[in-house]
Structure formats: C-alpha cells, structure tokens
Amino acid sequence: PAGRNYLIGGNWKCNQTTESALELVSVLNAAGPIPTNCEVVVGIPYPYLALVASKLRSDIQIASQDCAHSAKMGAFTGEVNVNQLKDVGCTWVILGHSERRSGFGGDSGESSNLIAGKCVTAVAAGLKVMLCVGETLEERESGDTIKVVKSQLDPAIKALQPADWENVAIAYEPVWAIGTGKTATPEMAQETHAEIRAYVASALGRDVASKIRIQYGGSMKAANAKALLAQPDIDGGLIGGASLKPEFADVWRGML
C-alpha cells in the first residue's frame, strides 16, 4: 500500500527433509506468476539453503532464519555467518523471531541488543532483514503491546544508520498468534502496524516510515491473507505453518 510493494515471507522453521523440501520447491516453481507488486521470500533451514537456492525459481528469494553476530570466519562452533549465507544464495535473513527470543529451540533466548547487532552485521554484508517483534498474550492484556514492540525496536534504531532501514522490513508477529491458529483481526493488526509506523516516523523520520514494509505474522494463511493485506499499514506477511503447504502460493495468487 501507499507505494510499498508487498513482502510475502515464508518461514519453514525447523521443518523439511531433502525430499519434502524438493517437493514443495516443485509446487512453488509451478505456481504461476508472482504479481509485480509482490516480493516473495522463503526462510529455509541451514542444511537445505544451497539445495533450495539451486532449484527454486529465481523470482522467489531465499532467507536464512538467523545468522551469527559476527561476519568473521573462525572459531565459532555451530554458527553460520552472513558471508556464508550469501555464498549459498541467501539475500535475506529473518532476525529476532519470537522462537529465538524465547529460546524455544533449546538455546538461551536472544536479547533485542544481540538481535540489533545481527541486523547491523547482516545489512553491512548486503543482506536484507526481516526483523521480528511482537508481544505475548499477557503483555497485550496488560495494555503493553506498543511499549513492548518499541523496546524490541529501540536497540536496532540505535544501532542501524537511517539509510540501513531501506534494507529492513519489520515483521509484527504477536506471539499469541504464532502457530496457534489465532489470528489478529485485520483491524487489530492494522492498529498496531499504524502505531509501529508512527513510532518509526518519530524515531527515524517520515521518509523511512513511509517506505518501510511492516509484515504481519501469526497464523496467516491464504484464507485470511487478503483481508489482512487490504489494511493500509499491512505490507505483507511472514507465514510459518501455511508456508509449508502448496497454499503458500495462494497468498500471492490472491493478490493478482
């Protein structure tokens, strides 16, 4: 909306095998044209990045789901750096997903400061970032939604240069809506998106705010995407569960 292209992101999380990844790639490759006002990106688990990058149609971009804080090669066991990600075909990285913030995967949770540092590293390497923010149910019920989101954005606002935001999208993902089947209503999501855009305008200026894409994430699927994407401040989606199915393509088909 308002001159911004939609950014439709998929997030495979810790799912897929070689076989199932290739199956989904064939479905997406055969899924017909992507509207010119949509950019499509899929977030792939590390082991399948190179494979998917080599087989997936070139008008769908590849994201990793995290990156190392440091861009350097070296003694960082278990880490994958931005240069390695670029080397295997990534152009985007999802950072600060609530499952990484919470330590849900078994690691210790990531702080907003660490995530801001990763944003700087990624953008400096020429990767684009989907920076995830969002409140828990408890925080929403206490009326703290925008306060929480601001506190998650602030370290990145401090760490990045204003021009860097051309390469950053914000994914607003209320934690209570992720993987739960509960979606924020289009009106609820729009309200928070508008507040986020207003905050970006106050912190980084109206120009950055008018250009930045704010994606909605939380049980988005083909059936509810159109109504969410019709809201003036919802500029795309970050889609988990439904991105593992052929219906992912129905999200952009719905925008044709």
Q: Provide the binding-site residues for ligand PEP, judged by CB under 6 A.
A: 11, 13, 173, 178-179, 217-220, 238-242
Q: Among residues 3, 61, 6, 50, which one has the least CA distance to residue 28?
A: 61
Nearer residue to ligand PEP within complex by CB, 60 or 178: 178
- Smallest distance, ligand PEP to C-beta of residue 206, A: 28
* Catalytic residue selected from 99, 110, 135, 173: 173
Evaluate whether 127 touches 103 at the Cβ level (below 8 Å).
Answer: no
- Smallest distance, ligand PEP to C-beta of residue 50, A: 22
Beta strand pairing call for 60-64 and 236-239: unpaired
Q: Which two tokens stand for residue 116?
A: 């801001």
Beta strand pairing call for 60-64 and 168-172: unpaired
**Alpha-carbon dihedral of residues 14, 16, 17, 21, nearest 10 degrees?**
-130
DSSP labels for 143-178?
Answer: T-HHHHHHHHHHHHHHHS-GGGGGGEEEEE--GGGT
Return the percent helix, strand and coil in the chain, to nearest 5: 45, 15, 40
Nearer residue to ligand PEP within complex by CB, 117 or 241: 241
Nearer residue to ligand PEP within complex by CB, 11 or 81: 11
Nearer residue to ligand PEP within complex by CB, 25 or 94: 94
Identify whether 97 is a catalytic site residue: yes
Q: Which residue is nearest to ligand PEP (CB)?
A: 240
Catalytic site residues? 97, 173
